[in-house]
Amino acid sequence: MTAKKTEHSNPDHKAQISRLRRVKGQVEGIEKMIEDRRYCPEIITQIRAASAALKSFEASILERHLKHCVSDAMASKNTTEQNKKIADLLDLFKRS
């Protein structure tokens, strides 16, 4: 099955890679804390920090999606594309 070509191109998120790597480092740090049998509240503090960082990363990607993908679809006057973007967003929020 091949993907249907549209005029829309996805935004470049490469600049966000460093943020994602930081979250990855936090999760690896939590793993090490568990291996080192660290105090439970210290582990929980680090889990919350990683969760907050991931939530911030998610918000950044969503903002970019709204400003780029959704905005382009609304400006296009293509009702099929507009309805798809709305459905995609609704689906995202239903899953959260």
**Amino acid of residue 72:** D
Res 11: pLDDT:
76
Please list the pLDDT of the chain residue by residue as tens digits (96 residues).
444 444 557 778 888 899 999 999 999 999 999 999 999 999 999 999 999 999 999 999 999 999 999 999 999 989 999 999 999 999 999 997
Chain-centre distance for alpha carbon 81: 21
Asked whether residue 74 is domain-assigned, the answer is yes
Task: State the average pLDDT for the chain.
Answer: 89
Asked whether residue 4 is domain-assigned, the answer is no
Asked whether residue 25 is domain-assigned, the answer is yes
What CATH number has the domain bearing residue 69?
Answer: 1.20.58.1000
> Given the structure tokens 């990855």, which residue do they identify?
24
Neighbours of 30 (CB within 10 A): 19
Res 12: pLDDT:
80
Asked whether residue 6 is domain-assigned, the answer is no
* 74-88 burial: b if 16+ Cβ within 10 Å, else e: eeeebeebeeebeee
Query: Contact 76/17 with Cβ under 8 angstroms?
Result: no
Number of domains in the chain: 1
**Domain span holding position 52:** 15-95
